[in-house]
Structure 1
Amino acid sequence: MGIIHLLSSDTVNRIAAGEVIERPASLVKELIENSLDSGADSITVDIQNGGISFIRVTDNGSGFMKDDIPTAFLRHATSKIREESDLSHIESLGFRGEALASIAGVSKVELITKRKEDFLGSRYLINGGEEIEFSEIGCPDGTTFMVRDLFYNVPARRKFLKSAVTEAGYINECINRFAVQRPDVSFSFMSQGRTLLHTSGNGNRKDAVYAVFGRMIADNLIPVSYEGKTVSITGFLGKSAINRGNRNYEMIYVNGRQIRSGILYNAVEDAYANYLMQHRYPFTVLLFEINPEEVDVNIHPAKMDVRISEQETITAEITSALAEILRKAVLIPDMEPAEEVKAAPVRPPEAFETVRIRQEAAYHAPAFTSSVQEAKVPELRSESVSQGITPVENDTVPVFSRPAEAAVSAPDSTVCAESFSMPVEESDTKHEQASFLDTDFQKMRDEVSFRIVGQVFKTYWIIETNDQMYIIDQHAAHEKINYERFVKAMNEQTPASQTLFPGIVFSLSIREEEILQRYSESLERIGFTIEHFGGRDYRITAVPVCLYRIDARDYFLSVLDSLSESGTSVRPEQVYETLASMSCKAAIKGNQRISEMEAEHLFKELLTLENPFHCPHGRPVIISMSQTEMERKFKRIL
Structure 2
Amino acid sequence: MSKIRILDDDVISKIAAGEVIERPASVVKELVENSIDANSTNINIEIENGGITYIKVSDDGSGIEKDDVEIAFLRHTTSKIQNENDLYNIKTLGFRGEALASIAAVSKVEMITKTNKDIIGTRILVEGGEIIEKTECGSPNGTTIVVRELFFNTPVRLKFLKTPSREAMYVTETVQNLALSNENISFKYKNNGKLVLATKGDGILLNVIISLFGKQVKDNLLEVLYEEDCIKVRGYIGNNALGKSNRNFEFLFVNGRYVKNKIINSAIENVYKSYSTGDKFPFYVIKLEIDPQIIDVNVHPTKAEVKFQNEQQVYKIVYKAIQNAFQTINTIPQITFTPNVFINKEDNKYNDCIQKKIEFNYETLCENNNYNKERFQIKEDTQNRYFANNFYEYFENKEKNIKTMEIIDNSNNLLLPKLIPVAQIHLTYIIAEGEKELYIIDQHAAHERILYEKYMDEYNNTSIQSQALLNPKIIELSNVEKQLVLENIKNFGKIGYVIEDFGGSSISIRSVPVIYGNPNYIELFYEVLNQVTMNSNNFYNSIDKIIYTMACKSAVKSGDKLTYSEMNKLIEDLRKCKNPFSCPHGRPTIIKMAYEELEKKFRRVL
For the aligned pair, the TM-score class normalised by the smaller chain equals 0.7 to 0.9
Deviations 1:29-79 (A, max 9, x none): 111111111111111111121111111111111111223222222222222
| Total equivalences in the alignment | 556
Deviations 1:502-544 (A, max 9, x none): 2321134554344334433333333223233344422223323
In structure 2, the partner of 1:502 is 471
Deviations 1:354-402 (A, max 9, x none): x2223x26xxxxxx889xx9xxxxx9xx99877999xxxxxxxxxxxxx
Deviations 1:258-315 (A, max 9, x none): 1123443333222221455655333211111233233211111201111223324422
Trace 1:229-248 onto structure 2 (pairs within 5 A): 229=229, 231-248=231-248
The 2-side partners of 1:331 and 1:523 are apart by 37
Trace 1:249-328 onto structure 2 (pairs within 5 A): 249-274=249-274, 276=276, 280-328=280-328
Q: Which amino acid aligns with 2:30?
A: E
Deviations 1:243-272 (A, max 9, x none): 333322221101111112344333322222
Please state whether the residue corresponding to 2:92 is helix, strand or coil. coil
Deviations 1:459-507 (A, max 9, x none): 4555454543444333322221221232243345474545544232113
Please state whether the residue corresponding to 2:70 is helix, strand or coil. helix
The 1-side partners of 2:569 and 2:513 are apart by 22
* Contact residue 225 and residue 321 of structure 2 kept, 8 A: no
Q: Flag structure 2 segments of 5+ consecutive residues without an equivalent.
A: 333-356, 384-404
* Contact residue 169 and residue 484 of structure 2 kept, 8 A: no
2:542 to 561, 565, 574: 574
In structure 1, the partner of 2:513 is 544
CA gap 1:7/1:351 in 2 versus in 1, 3 angstroms:
closer
Using structure 2 for the length normalisation, give the TM-score. 0.82
Q: Which amino acid aligns with 1:528?
A: Y
In structure 1, the partner of 2:352 is none
Deviations 1:596-624 (A, max 9, x none): 74555433432232211222233332344
Please state whether the residue corresponding to 1:612 is helix, strand or coil. coil
The 2-side partners of 1:503 and 1:547 are apart by 20
Which stretch of structure 1 is more off in the superposition, 8-17 or 581-590? 581-590
In structure 2, the partner of 1:436 is 408
Which stretch of structure 1 is more off in the superposition, 500-509 or 511-520? 511-520
Any runs of at least 4 consecutive aligned residues in structure 1 with deviations exceeding 6 A, and if so which? 382-389, 628-638
Trace 1:167-566 onto structure 2 (pairs within 5 A): 167-229=167-229, 231-274=231-274, 276=276, 280-329=280-329, 352=360, 355-358=361-364, 360=365, 434-438=406-410, 441-442=413-414, 445-447=416-418, 449=420, 451-452=422-423, 455=425, 459-461=428-430, 463=432, 465-493=434-462, 495-497=464-466, 499-546=468-515, 549-564=518-533
CA gap 1:476/1:276 in 2 versus in 1, 3 angstroms:
farther
Trace 1:92-103 onto structure 2 (pairs within 5 A): 92-103=92-103
CA gap 1:45/1:532 in 2 versus in 1, 3 angstroms:
closer
Which stretch of structure 1 is more off in the superposition, 462-471 or 100-109? 462-471
Using structure 1 for the length normalisation, give the TM-score. 0.78
Which stretch of structure 1 is more off in the superposition, 241-250 or 495-504? 495-504
The 1-side partners of 2:594 and 2:293 are apart by 68
CA gap 1:82/1:548 in 2 versus in 1, 3 angstroms:
farther
Which stretch of structure 1 is more off in the superposition, 208-217 or 556-565? 556-565
CA RMSD of aligned residues (A): 3.5
Shift of 1:143: 0.9
The 2-side partners of 1:249 and 1:568 are apart by 14
1:619 pairs with 2:587: yes
Deviations 1:549-574 (A, max 9, x none): 54433431331232245568752x42
Please state whether the residue corresponding to 1:15 is helix, strand or coil. helix
The 2-side partners of 1:551 and 1:286 are apart by 32
Shift of 1:235: 1.3
Shift of 1:14: 0.9
Which stretch of structure 1 is more off in the superposition, 10-19 or 216-225? 216-225
The 2-side partners of 1:267 and 1:634 are apart by 56
In structure 2, the partner of 1:423 is none
Q: Which amino acid aligns with 1:325?
A: A
Shift of 1:351: 5.9
The 1-side partners of 2:437 and 2:39 are apart by 78
Q: Which amino acid aligns with 2:561?
A: I
Please state whether the residue corresponding to 2:147 is helix, strand or coil. strand
In structure 2, the partner of 1:408 is none
Shift of 1:26: 0.9
Question: Sequence identity of aligned pairs in percent?
Answer: 38
Deviations 1:140-168 (A, max 9, x none): 11111111111111111111111212212
The 2-side partners of 1:218 and 1:272 are apart by 18
CA gap 1:461/1:146 in 2 versus in 1, 3 angstroms:
same
Deviations 1:107-152 (A, max 9, x none): 1111211110111222222211112222322211111111111111
Q: Flag structure 1 segments of 5+ consecutive residues without an equivalent.
A: 333-348, 362-367, 374-378, 390-432
